[in-house]
Amino acid sequence: MQGLSAQIHIVRGLVRDSSNLQWWKAAIPSPVVATIRTPSDSRYDGKIKGCRRICSHSTTLAAGRSIRVKEMETRIVELFDTSLRDGMQQPNLEISVPNAVLLLQRMGSFGVRYAEIGFAGANQFVGDLAAALEDADTNGMKLALFGRSRGRGMRVEDWLDVRFMLEHRKRIPVAVVVVKSRLLDIERSLETTPEENLRMASETIACLQDNGLEVIVDLEHAMDAACQRRECGHLCDEEFGSRSLEYFHTIVDQCVGQKVSRIVICDTTGGASPEEVARTFDHLVHQHPQASFGFHGHTDRGLGVANSRAAILAGATQVQGTLLGTGERCGNVNLTTVIGGMQLRGEARFVSDESLTGLTALAQSAYAAFGMEPPHSAPIVGSGAFGTWAGMHGSSERKNPGAYLWCDPARVGANPVIGVNAQSGRANIVLLSEQLGVPLTSAQAQVLLDTNQAMIEGSAFTVSEVSFRLACMRVLGTLRDRFNVKSWRVLDESDETGDRYVQASILLSIDDSSVATSRAVGAGPVDALTRALRQELVKWYPEIARMRLGTFTVTAIDISAQDTAAHVRVTVSFHADGHEPWIVAGVSSDLNQAAMMAIIDGFHYWLLRSQQSGSRE
């Protein structure tokens, strides 16, 4: 490796001189960036873990000298979740009180240190949730309420936010106080003086502390103040920018003096860069080594996770965000991405390794609690995070598992995924069939390709491994046809008053020996078809009575090219007591046809599953 150069961040202090293997103090300013050039016959193998300082200027060590940074202990960082407060500012996001309690309990079991349950007294939901949490066990996780420093000219004891926090302090022992830290906002939003703002913050903090509450201070617009920015990210003029920066440090000094639990630097607009965050934290940690600083970021520039990482590497002991990245505008920092991205690389430790294996399950339960569909491309926890759908990649994965993965998915409780869609080839089909226990040969994979073009192009096998497994069994001839739908129709009538009548009729054969017709009325085509099929099949297979229709979604495919003749994918979920739900899919240019395909797969899978359970018993 000729002339290898590596640019690394180093901490003032210990650097190893490879010539004598002794530790020596680097006579260089802190923080620095050192350009390190190794001899042409050596390889740089240094690693950096948990660095406390990030660069602000650079220097160059003696040319040719081979050094490496001493590995430091991985930094322990607290997790602070604000999904139920800041995250709920996302439009059309809802969660019930029971689901919120369950989610908080899961977060506590996972290892989240703090969770904010809402804005103190802001709405009925916060009051109901606070009451519901009275007897709930959150496994050591501290609950917090968010509120403002007292209003100008008001007594802190009369401030509604403070009164609500004090009323619930027995069960919710942490108060998060938001304080304006940018002169611009103090003068224009609060319409008060910088001195009064300091008094408002000081008196609020003191009152809460005197009443036994742990106080965390969120410094709103802190990064804009530190970087001397005003509205829309514009730089302040020199004089006002200097005063704004000085005031920011004054309010930090006051918080340190009052010994608040955590001082949280907020990138309220999401406009900061990792370099700016690193410089800010480096200065604060150096100036106040006895204080604990946290970071609260947003993703407006797409840098939220990178900024959180920079803050942690520069000394932040707490990171705030929302479990799924929910929040106003572009959202808060996604904690699942920060946790997985840093802990899997050994850059920080948020939870135990054992707890880390529950990250994917925690995210899935959170998506379900908020009624959200998990994004396919979500880092770490998305269904596509550890998958490949490209035929060439699938072929390589079969020969060398892990070739296209950046980490071991098992460490976050996930599995590598081999997908089948329009970009896939026979290699993906063969590999996925092997993984699911229904192995196909290359020739059989071609048969499946030829006979399921619409399903493959419509990504039905991407959303449903069940439908793919059944398709493989049909190719192999191992799926017993317990029933066969010979024909069906749906009568769907509506009038101008909005009244609707939907009836499904199905002609089916049972075990190739009997033919029957079944009719049923339902709330819609999917419901009517399911009812009609169930009411006949239950006579022959009593276990059918246990399965129930869950949810279904309809996705139009390639509308721009096909207009109203576009194919649709219908995805249907079923469930039964004591069993995990199963998802099936169908694709057709006709919505009801696609639904019927999915429903048939749903019934076939349940009968197959019941047969296998019975044989084991």
Whether 83 and 47 share a structural domain: no
Q: Is residue 104 part of a domain?
A: yes
Whole-angstrom distance, CA of residue 430 vs CA of residue 179: 59
Residue 394's pLDDT is what?
A: 56
Torsion of CA 295, 297, 303, 306, to 10 degrees: 30
Please give the model's pTM, rounded to 2 decimal places. Answer: 0.72
Whether 436 and 323 share a structural domain: no
User: Within a 13 Å sphere around the CA of 244, how many CA atoms are in the beta-carbon half?
Assistant: 25
Residue 416's pLDDT is what?
A: 75
Whether 308 and 420 share a structural domain: no
Residue 509's pLDDT is what?
A: 92
CA 558, distance to chain mean position in Å, is 28
Q: Is residue 168 part of a domain?
A: yes
| Paired sense of beta strands 514-522 and 500-510, if any | antiparallel
Whether 495 and 396 share a structural domain: no
CB contact burial 190-206 (16+ within 10 A = b; e otherwise)? bebebeebbbbbbbbbe
Whether 86 and 50 share a structural domain: no
Residue 399's pLDDT is what?
A: 67
Report the domain count for the chain: 4
Whether 95 and 31 share a structural domain: no
Within 10 A of 46 (CB to CB), how many other CB atoms are there?
A: 17
Whether 290 and 435 share a structural domain: no
Residue 428's pLDDT is what?
A: 84
Nearest CA to 339 out of 366, 371, 300 is that of 366
Residue 24's pLDDT is what?
A: 28
Q: Is residue 32 part of a domain?
A: yes
Q: Is residue 316 part of a domain?
A: yes
Whole-angstrom distance, CA of residue 10 vs CA of residue 46: 11
Segments of the chain scoring below 50 in pLDDT:
1-71, 615-617
Question: Is residue 550 within a helix (H) or strand (E), and if so which, with residue range?
Answer: strand 547-557
Whether 362 and 257 share a structural domain: yes
Q: Which of 340, 369, 398 is the last residue of a domain?
A: 369
Q: Is residue 456 part of a domain?
A: no
Residue 477's pLDDT is what?
A: 94
Whether 396 and 487 share a structural domain: no
Residue 552's pLDDT is what?
A: 85
Whether 61 and 81 share a structural domain: no
In the chain, % helix, strand, coil (3-state, to 5) comes to: 40, 25, 35
Q: Is residue 474 part of a domain?
A: no
Whether 361 and 403 share a structural domain: no
Residue 513's pLDDT is what?
A: 79
SS (H, E, C) 406-426: CCCHHHHCCCCEECCCCCCCH
What is the DSSP annotation of 236-268? PPHHHHHHHHHHHHHHHHHHHHTT-SEEEEE-T
The CATH number for 498's domain is 3.30.160.270
Whether the link from the prior residue into 439 is cis, omega within 30° of 0, is no
**Structural domain boundaries enclosing 39:** 5-69
The CATH number for 197's domain is 3.20.20.70
Q: Which of 303, 337, 369 is the last residue of a domain?
A: 369
Q: Is residue 462 part of a domain?
A: no
Whether 199 and 342 share a structural domain: yes
Q: Is residue 470 part of a domain?
A: no
